[in-house]
């Protein structure tokens, strides 16, 4: 019995849990796209990412064992972009290139 439980534990640890979600990230242009996507790194568990400047939607596939969607939102906010999960600090927003100063959502 113990052995059986151990095996379940090990196989759960090995299995990579992938999840794909689409979240709203505010931004303007291709420079924003590069920054938003650049904030999400493979080493942090990001498997793929794609932000669409027309729809403002980011589709991200990630390893749920390494990162959560909330943490993904925080990483994007850290480079200045408000999103569904986290609002960027004024300091991060003000540091954006003038063409990238998107209209912020009302709080
Ligand atoms: Cu931009």
Q: How far is the CA of 27 from the centre of ligand 1 (A)?
A: 6
pLDDT band per the 50, 70, 90 thresholds, residue 15:
low
CA dihedral 49, 102, 55, 60 (to 10 degrees): 20
pLDDT at residue 13, as a whole number = 59
Q: How far is the CA of 68 from the centre of ligand 1 (A)?
A: 25
Structural domains of the chain, with CATH:
16-100 (3.30.70.100)
Q: How far is the CA of 95 from the centre of ligand 1 (A)?
A: 12
72 with 35: CB under 8 angstroms?
Answer: no
Q: What proportion of the chain, given as a percentage, has pLDDT over 70?
A: 85
Q: How far is the CA of 10 from the centre of ligand 1 (A)?
A: 44
Residues 38 and 40: their CA atoms lie apart, in Å, by 5
What is the reported pTM? 0.84
> Tens digits of per-residue pLDDT, 38-66?
999 999 999 999 999 999 999 999 999 99
Q: How far is the CA of 21 from the centre of ligand 1 (A)?
A: 22
pLDDT at residue 40, as a whole number = 98
> Tens digits of per-residue pLDDT, 82-102?
999 999 999 999 999 999 999
pLDDT band per the 50, 70, 90 thresholds, residue 106:
confident
Annotate 5-51 with DSSP letters as a single string.
HHHHHHHHHHS--EEEEEEEB---SHHHHHHHHHTS-GGGTEEEEEE
Q: How far is the CA of 36 from the centre of ligand 1 (A)?
A: 9
């Amino acid at each position: 019995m113990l052995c059986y439980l151990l095996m379940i534990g090990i196989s759960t640890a090995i299995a990579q849990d992938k999840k794909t979600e689409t979240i709203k990230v505010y931004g303007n242009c291709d420079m924003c796209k590069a920054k938003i996507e650049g904030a999400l790194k493979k080493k942090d568990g990001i498997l793929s990412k794609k932000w669409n400047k027309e729809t403002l939607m980011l589709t991200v596939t990630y390893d749920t064992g390494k990162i959560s969607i909330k943490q993904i939102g925080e990483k994007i906010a850290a480079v200045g972009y408000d999103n569904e999960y986290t609002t960027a600090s004024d300091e991060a927003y003000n540091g954006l290139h003038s063409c990238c100063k998107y209209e912020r959502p009302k709080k």
